Copies of this chain bind each other. A is one copy, B any other.
Amino acid sequence: MHRAESERPATLCGMNRVSDDDMVLVPGGSLMTKTPEQGRALALMLARHTIHNIQPDLDVLKGGRPNYSSTPDSLIDAARVVAIEFQTIAAANGYWRD
C-alpha cells in the first residue's frame, strides 16, 4: 500500500488515469443515503474508489479484471469488502429503520 510518489503526476507520463470523479474517496461527500439500496451502491463505490486511489492506472485495472472477476475466490473477497463498507454505512444511517 505504499504510495509511489512518482505515480502522482501520472497523466504527465501518459498514464491512462482513472477520471477525477472516480478518484473521489466518498462520492457525494456523505455516508447518508435515503434507502438501503442506495447505501449498498455507495458501499460498492467506496470499495472501488479505494482501489482507484491505490492503483489509478486504468489499463492495469482493466487488465486485471477478466481474471479476478471470473475467479470465485476473488469475487467472494470483493464481496467481503463491500460487506464491511456496508456495516459502516448502515450504522451511519441508523439502519434505515423508519
* Residues of chain A at the chain B interface (Cβ within 8 Å): 1-4, 24-26, 29-32, 35-37, 39-41, 44, 46-48, 50-55, 60-65, 67-88, 90-92, 95-97
- What chain B residues lie within 8 Å of A73 (beta carbons)? 68, 74, 77
Contact of A60 with B50 in the complex, beta carbons under 8 Å: no
B48 and A90 form a contact (CB under 8 A): no
A89 CB, nearest partner CB in chain B, Å? 9
Cα distance, A73 to B73, chains bound together (Å): 9
List the B residue with the shortest CB-CB distance to A80: B81
Check A75 against B55 for contact (C-beta < 8 Å). yes
The residue that A87 contacts in the complex, of B30, B63, B84, with Cβ under 8 A, is B84
